Amino acid sequence: MPQGRTRVQKTQVALAGHVRPGDHVVSEGRYIEVLRVRRAQGRKPRTGENLHLVGVDEVIKVNSLDGVRILPRRN
């Protein structure tokens, strides 16, 4: 009889521009809960815009068109 596979919580890839507060982003092998998404000030890139994903004690700087790994949302 085949044994049932254990369910592993998988991540999904999304554009950084689609990340919302409350999402959990994978950064350097750790899950970081995003408390706030803000647009960066200063020099603008040719495509997209620079975003700061603010966590509890760190900030992740990404372009809005970059792919990031997040935990699937539960609707």
| Domain-embedded: residue 22 | yes
Dihedral sign computed on CA atoms, order 12, 53, 22, 6: positive
| Domain-embedded: residue 11 | no
| Domain-embedded: residue 58 | yes
What's the pLDDT score for residue 11? Answer: 85
φ, ψ (nearest 5 deg) of residue 18? -95, 0
What's the pLDDT score for residue 29? Answer: 87
Report the predicted TM-score, pTM, of the whole model to 2 decimal places: 0.79
> Are 52 and 61 contacting, i.e. CB atoms less than 8 angstroms apart?
yes
| Domain-embedded: residue 38 | yes
What's the pLDDT score for residue 73? Answer: 72
For tokens 């647009």, the residue is: 39
| Domain-embedded: residue 1 | no
The whole-number average pLDDT for the span 42-46 is: 90
Identify the domain containing residue 42 by its residue range.
Answer: 18-70
* Domain count across the chain: 1
| Domain-embedded: residue 75 | no
Tell me: pLDDT of 1 over 60: no
Q: Report the percentage of the chain scoring pLDDT > 90.
A: 67
pLDDT band at 38 (very low <50, low <70, confident <90, very high): very high
